[in-house]
């Protein structure tokens, strides 16, 4: 069953390579042909030449034999050299294409699936598999070596058959005994190599379970952004200890021992095999059963037969292991989409932005407690609504459900009276401009970050950045909208502060100009002056759009038409600021008084200072 699974995975890998680069496998086969036949060319030519001299062939025939042989070997070596200089058949290109497929899948798959523990585990498996070596970069050379082994065995057998037929040689009992000897030594060597290969894989498998910290750090967990903290807190020993775990040292030491054992055994087996072959062929030559040329050809062919058999055995194990390691990548690429997409267009109809939650509950996978429990409310078109509550009260979960990053566990969410699952998914997503609490900017030019596109309207980008309060910083950038953010991809990139990044994210939401705007803690990293500018100009920024505003700072909610108060995943209060602050023992009043007391204490401390 396991072997059948390996062969299925191997077929998938070869089909993927053929799809990425149709000529790659053909080129690998041609190269394998050259690799298998060239080592046999010189012994064959020598045998023909020696036998020709022995039987008194003419000078012209000997010269012709030599010329044909030398020219053939020259052409074959030239083809092989040319292919190696060009790079083994586009293997890196195939790897890049598979990686692009992987990235495309990550960007297109449902967010809920991307965020799941199962997908995270699968991605970790993929990374470990690639760390130990898999993909077209390894698969094509392995395919080439497998073909070279098969061709080498066949070619050596073809050369040996005529030799064995000389003088009734095939009838002698010693011939059978000799071939049993050759096969026994070769298969013993192949079995030891296969066992060594399996032991190495077991070492790597055990190490994978304990290497997540070190692997994360080596894959880019340490960047210039972490450099300050590492130096301030003298965390270098911690990082180095993670990179030099005891398990890693044991794995490397064990792998080295296995390689040394395999190398020593391979040398010993080759010596035993060739010693026996030469002894056998010399004894048969002394008996007059073989010509001088046959002696040369026989010894070389036996050696190539054995080496090709070992090559085939080892490369077969490697290519099947590679196929098993590629299984995680194919499983990832074939993950099905779970988010339903309806046929209802979300263009004109969804533009008004009336939102309704009907008895909505949601539980994150693997978590027993609901993040939202039986939540119901309705937001009118053009209304500005604040969502407040303590950390973990379900505010951000509400945003994720509204944006269809997740679907509710229970209940229904409607947009303009239609279940959001009935809308075309891509069109529905276009209805929202969102600034998430954990938003991300890309290490690309500023204008492309705001527009989320290579092509954009410069005037509009400028206007959105200005509305977001980024104009003064933009004026100091020498390349203007062409200035790259961060230095990941451009050494002239500009580092922006947390507050500046938040303004850029806000400008991105404004540029999209969607009918519904959601701001999740949009001013958390802003200074008080910038925060006041955003709040005072909020209605001017948003216009007549439907807006949902999430904040911990209750003083920022006064400009909203309505306030939803959440606590432990449930909607506990609703109303305007004036209504809610006067409800004694209400959650909103409790939060308001706690924050007011904090500000008062801060002011008193300032005066005392």
- Each residue's pLDDT tens digit, 388-397: 988 888 998 9
Residue 351 has pLDDT above 50, yes or no: no
What pLDDT score was predicted for residue 447? 93
Alpha-carbon separation of residue 55 from 42, 59, 67, 282, 483 (angstroms): 20, 12, 19, 20, 82
Indicate the average pLDDT of the chain. Answer: 77
Residue 365 corresponds to which tokens in the numbers above? 């996978």
Please state the separation of Cα 605 from the chain's center in Å.
Answer: 52
pLDDT at 77 over 50: yes
User: What backbone phi and psi angles, to 5 degrees, belong to 413?
Assistant: -115, 130
Q: Which class for 300: exposed (0-12), middle (13-18), buried (19 or more C-beta within 10 A)?
A: buried
Specify the 3-state DSSP secondary structure of 195.
helix
Q: Give the residue from 311, 296, 295 showing the smallest Cα distance to 186.
A: 311
CB 450 within 8 A of CB 465: yes
Per-residue pLDDT at 251 exceeds 60:
no
Task: Work out the average pLDDT over 514-533.
Answer: 74
Top-confidence residue, 463 or 255: 463
DSSP secondary structure code for residue 144 in this structure? H
Contact indicator for 213, 242 with CB cutoff of 8 Å: yes
Largest CA distance in the chain: 120
Alpha carbon 446 to its chain's center: 27
In 3D, which of 339, 332, 400 has the Cα closest to residue 364? 400
Residue 602 has pLDDT above 50, yes or no: no
**Statement: residue 228 has pLDDT above 50:** yes
Count of residues making up the chain: 609
Nearest to 477, CA basis, from 459, 496, 499, 464: 496
pLDDT band of residue 457 (cuts 50, 70, 90) is very high
pLDDT(482) > 90:
yes
Q: Which of 282, 86, 313 is nearest to 189 (CA)?
A: 313
Q: Determine contact, residues 588/581, Cβ cutoff 8 Å.
A: yes
Q: Say if residue 163's pLDDT is above 80.
A: no
Higher per-residue pLDDT: 360 or 259: 360
| Burial zone of 141 (CB within 10 Å; 0-12 exposed, 13-18 middle, 19+ buried) | buried
Greater confidence (120 vs 254) lies with: 120
Structure tokens at 189: 């060597």
- pLDDT at res. 133: 67
Query: What pLDDT was estimated at residue 208?
Result: 55
22 pLDDT tier (thresholds 50, 70, 90):
confident
pLDDT (average), residues 336-360: 75
**What pLDDT, on a 0 to 100 scale, did the predictor assign at position 401?**
93
Q: Could you tell me which of 491, 550, 469 has the C-alpha nearest to residue 517?
A: 550
> CA 345, 347, 351, 352 torsion: positive or negative?
negative
The Cβ of residue 602 has, within 10 Å, a number of other Cβ atoms equal to 10
- The answer to which of 32-36, 139-143, 540-544 has the lowest mean pLDDT is 540-544
How do the domains of the chain map onto residue ranges? 2-210+245-333, 349-431+514-608
Q: What angle do CA 36, 42, 45 make, to 5 degrees?
A: 120
CB atoms within 10 A of CB 251: 19
Distance, CA of 467 to CA of 556 (rounded, Å): 18
Reduced to 3 states (helix: H, G, I; strand: E, B; else coil), residue 241 is: helix
- SS3 for 414-476 is EECCEEHHHECHHHHHCCEEEECCCCCCCCCEHHHHHHCCCCCCHHHHHHHHHHCCCHHHHHC
Q: Cα 426–431–437 angle (5° rounding)?
A: 100
Q: What pLDDT band is residue 361 in, cutting at 50, 70 and 90?
A: very high
pLDDT at 242: 55
Strand, coil or helix: 385: strand
Mean pLDDT within 102-122:
82
Instruction: Give residue 520's pLDDT.
Output: 84
Structure tokens at 552: 């911990």
Average pLDDT over residues 233-238: 67
Helix H or strand E encompassing 251: helix 246-286
Lowest mean pLDDT among 199-203, 479-483, 492-496: 199-203
CB atoms within 10 A of CB 255: 16
Of 74 and 300, the one with more pLDDT: 74
Q: Which region, left, alpha or beta, applies to residue 394 given φ > 0 means left and ψ of -120 to 50 means alpha? A: left
- Mean pLDDT calculated for residue range 532-540: 66
Q: How far apart are the first and last CA of the chain?
A: 77
528 pLDDT higher than 70: no
Taking residues 77-88, what's their average pLDDT? 73
And the tokens for 462? 């400028």
CATH of 349-431+514-608, picked from 3.40.190.10, 3.40.50.300, 3.30.70.920, 3.90.870.10, is 3.40.50.300
- Put simply, whether the predicted model's pTM sits higher than 0.75 gets the answer no
Which range of 130-144, 223-237, 383-397 scores highest in mean pLDDT? It is: 383-397
Q: CA 90, 91, 92, 96 torsion: positive or negative?
A: positive
The DSSP call for residue 379 is E
Q: Rounded to an integer, what distance in angstroms lies between the CA atom of residue 554 and that of residue 552? A: 6
How would residue 29 be classed by pLDDT, with cut points 50, 70 and 90?
Answer: confident
Name which of 323-327, 412-416, 495-499, 566-570 the model is least confident about: 323-327
Q: What is the mean pLDDT of residues 575-600?
A: 83
Helices (H) and strands (E) in the chain, counts: 23, 10
Span 214-232, average pLDDT = 56
Beta-bridge partners for 549: 386, 519
**Share of residues in the chain with pLDDT > 90 (%):** 17
Q: Which of the pair, 257 or 122, is modelled with greater confidence? A: 122
- 525 Cβ partners below 8 Å, 6+ apart? 497, 498, 499, 501, 502
Instruction: Say whether pLDDT at 58 is over 60.
Output: yes
pLDDT of residue 267: 63
Maximum average pLDDT range among 5-19, 171-185, 403-417, 522-536: 403-417
By CB atoms closer than 10 A (0-12, 13-18, 19+), residue 333 is middle
Q: Among positive and negative, which fits the CA dihedral 171, 176, 177, 179?
A: positive
State the Cα–Cα distance between residues 553 and 521, nearest whole angstrom.
Answer: 9
Homologous superfamily in CATH for domain 2-210+245-333: ABC transporter type 1, transmembrane domain (1.20.1560.10)
Task: Judge whether residue 249 has pLDDT over 80.
Answer: no
Question: What are the pLDDT digits (tens) for 403-454?
Answer: 998 999 999 999 988 999 999 888 888 899 998 888 889 889 999 999 999 8
Angle, alpha carbons 340-344-347 (nearest 5°): 115
Q: What is the mean pLDDT of residues 184-210?
A: 64
Collapsing DSSP to helix, strand or coil, 118 comes out as helix
Q: What is the pLDDT of residue 218?
A: 47
Nearest to 303 by CA among 189, 216, 220, 387: 189
């Amino acid at each position: 069953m396991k072997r059948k699974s390996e062969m299925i995975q191997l077929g998938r890998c070869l089909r993927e390579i053929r799809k990425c680069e149709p000529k790659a496998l053909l080129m690998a086969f041609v190269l394998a042909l050259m690799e298998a036949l060239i080592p046999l060319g010189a012994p064959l030519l020598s045998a023909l030449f020696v036998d020709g001299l022995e039987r008194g062939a003419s000078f012209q025939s000997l010269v012709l034999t030599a010329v044909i042989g030398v020219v053939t070997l020259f052409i074959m070596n030239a083809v092989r050299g040319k292919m190696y200089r060009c790079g083994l058949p586009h293997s890196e290109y195939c790897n890049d294409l598979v990686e692009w497929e992987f990235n495309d899948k990550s960007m297109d798959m449902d967010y809920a699936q991307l965020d799941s523990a199962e997908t995270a585990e699968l991605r970790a498996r993929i990374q470990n598999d690639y760390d130990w070596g898999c993909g077209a970069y390894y698969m094509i050379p392995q395919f080439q070596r497998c073909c070279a082994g098969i061709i080498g065995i066949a070619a050596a057998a073809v050369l040996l058959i005529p030799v064995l037929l000389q003088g009734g040689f095939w009838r002698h009992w010693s011939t059978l005994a000799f071939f049993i000897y050759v096969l026994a030594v070769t298969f013993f060597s192949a079995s030891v190599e296969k066992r060594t290969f399996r032991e190495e894989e077991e070492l790597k498998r055990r190490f994978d379970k304990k290497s997540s910290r070190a692997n994360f750090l080596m894959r880019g967990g340490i960047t210039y952004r972490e450099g300050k903290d590492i130096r301030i807190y003298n965390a270098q020993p911690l990082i180095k200890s993670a990179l030099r775990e005891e398990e890693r040292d044991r794995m490397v030491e064990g792998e080295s021992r296995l390689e040394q054992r395999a190398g020593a055994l391979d040398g010993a087996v080759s010596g035993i095999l060739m010693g026996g072959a030469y002894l056998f062929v010399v004894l048969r030559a002394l008996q007059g059963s073989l010509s001088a040329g046959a002696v040369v050809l026989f010894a070389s062919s036996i050696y190539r037969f054995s080496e090709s058999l070992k090559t085939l055995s080892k490369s077969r194990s490697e290519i099947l292991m590679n196929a098993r390691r590629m299984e995680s990548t194919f499983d990832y690429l074939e993950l099905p989409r779970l988010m339903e997409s309806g046929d209802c267009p979300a263009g004109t109809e969804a533009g008004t932005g009336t939102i309704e939650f009907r008895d909505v509950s949601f539980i994150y996978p693997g978590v027993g407690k609901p993040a939202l429990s039986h939540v119901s409310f309705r937001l009118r078109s053009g209304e500005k609504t604040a969502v407040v509550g303590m950390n973990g009260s379900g505010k951000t979960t509400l945003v994720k459900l509204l944006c269809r990053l997740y679907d509710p566990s229970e209940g229904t969410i409607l947009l303009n009276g239609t279940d959001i699952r009935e809308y075309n998914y891509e069109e529905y997503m276009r209805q929202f401009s969102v600034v998430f609490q954990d938003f991300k900017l890309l290490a690309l030019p500023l204008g492309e970050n705001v527009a989320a596109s290579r092509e954009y309207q410069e005037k509009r980008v400028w206007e959105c950045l200005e509305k977001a309060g980024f104009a003064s910083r933009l004026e100091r950038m020498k390349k203007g909208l062409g200035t790259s953010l961060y230095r990941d991809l451009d050494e002239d990139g500009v580092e922006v502060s947390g507050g500046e990044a938040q303004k850029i994210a806000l400008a991105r939401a404004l540029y999209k100009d969607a009918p519904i705007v959601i701001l999740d803690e949009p001013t958390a990293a802003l200074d008080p002056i910038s925060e006041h500018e955003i709040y005072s100009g909020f209605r001017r920024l948003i216009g007549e759009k439907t807006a949902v505003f999430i904040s911990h700072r209750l003083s920022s909610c006064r400009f909203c038409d309505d306030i939803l108060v959440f606590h432990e995943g449930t909607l506990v209060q609703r109303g305007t600021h004036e209504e809610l602050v006067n409800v004694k023992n209400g959650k909103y009043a409790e939060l308001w008084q706690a924050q007011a007391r904090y500000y008062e204490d801060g002011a008193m401390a300032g005066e005392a200072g």
